[in-house]
Amino acid sequence: MADNGNKTAEFNLDDIHALRMAARALSSETRLEILRALQSGSKSIGELSEELQIPMSTISTSVSILAEARLIITENKPHERGMLKLCSPSLSQIIFHLSSEASVETEEASKSLTMTMPVGCYTDAQSITPTCGLCSEYSIIGEKDAPLSFFHPDRFSAQRVWFHSGFLEYRFSFVYMNSITFKWLELSFETCSEAPMYRDPWKSDISVLINGHELGIFESPCDCGGVRGALTPSWNSVLSTQYGFLKTWRLDESGTYLDGIRINDLSISDISFSALPYISIQIGVSEDAVHVGGINLFGDKFGNYAQPLVLKLGYQLDR
């Protein structure tokens, strides 16, 4: 059996998009056959095609859908003929809850809010080290490998931001945040490691902090390049960073989750949201991390996913 760490993912109606993606991924007999085949170990697209007697084009499409739903993990490995995409199971169990995780008395009392933030709209850049830089949809902003460029007036138009270590702080606020009780919080963005040009493998421990509390670490496997990102502008060389991984952190009463997998006991009730007039979100790589391999953050016009930072909040109005 493949070692998937006995990991469990839970889906509920608080995140209809994730629930729909998982349900779609499981709705195909071909994709179910792929999941079953991967239980014996990691396999390439070609190996899956040969074992299941299904065309490689069909396998490739199905693998993309399973990976997007985070039911499997794909990674590129060096091979004598170039790069080989290996597929591995990421979960041993999936639980569907056909109810909202936030417990409320009435629908009117429970609400949600979605806010977006361009990657260049940070309020502070802390201890940024090279390699580093920013670029818009059209050109480099300031100078490469110059931390001072992170305070350039044009940073607000940035579509990609990268640095070796340090943190960017983003502040989200809305007018009635001091008259509510937070039930859950979800943050998603596209990211990967940062190396000169690009490199695979190239591990990096990417951290997210909410109001000073660390939610957890995403161990990015590489700096993704060599293949043009779906949204990456043509002026950006294919020999440099092209795209990343769409990662989702979730914080609720039961703990903290990364891509639906529980990673620690920190719950939303452990964090104070009344001390500040905003929610502070810090994203970066600590200089003390096990893998200090940098970070790339992608906007909605760079990489593979047409979104900036997305913050979703579930809350209950105080009476």
- 170-207 tens-digit pLDDT: 999 987 777 888 999 999 999 999 999 999 999 999 99
Domain 8-96 belongs to what architecture? Orthogonal Bundle (1.10)
1 contacts: CB under 8 Å, gap ≥ 6: 39, 40
Predicted TM-score (pTM) of this structure: 0.69
Q: How many residues does the chain have?
A: 319
- Equal fold, 8-96 vs 107-317: no
- 49-98 tens-digit pLDDT: 999 999 999 998 999 899 888 899 888 777 776 778 889 988 888 888 77
Residue-range domain boundaries for the chain: 8-96, 107-317
Order the strands of the 204-210 sheet from edge to edge: 124-129, 165-172, 279-285, 204-210, 213-220
Phi, psi at residue 166, to the nearest 5°? 115, -175
Q: Pick left, alpha or beta for residue 269 (phi over 0 → left; psi -120 to 50 → alpha; otherwise beta).
A: alpha
Beta bridge partners of 250: 186, 257
CA 112, CA 201: separation in Å to the nearest integer? 38
Q: What is the CATH number of domain 107-317?
A: 2.60.120.260
Residue 106 reports pLDDT greater than 50: no
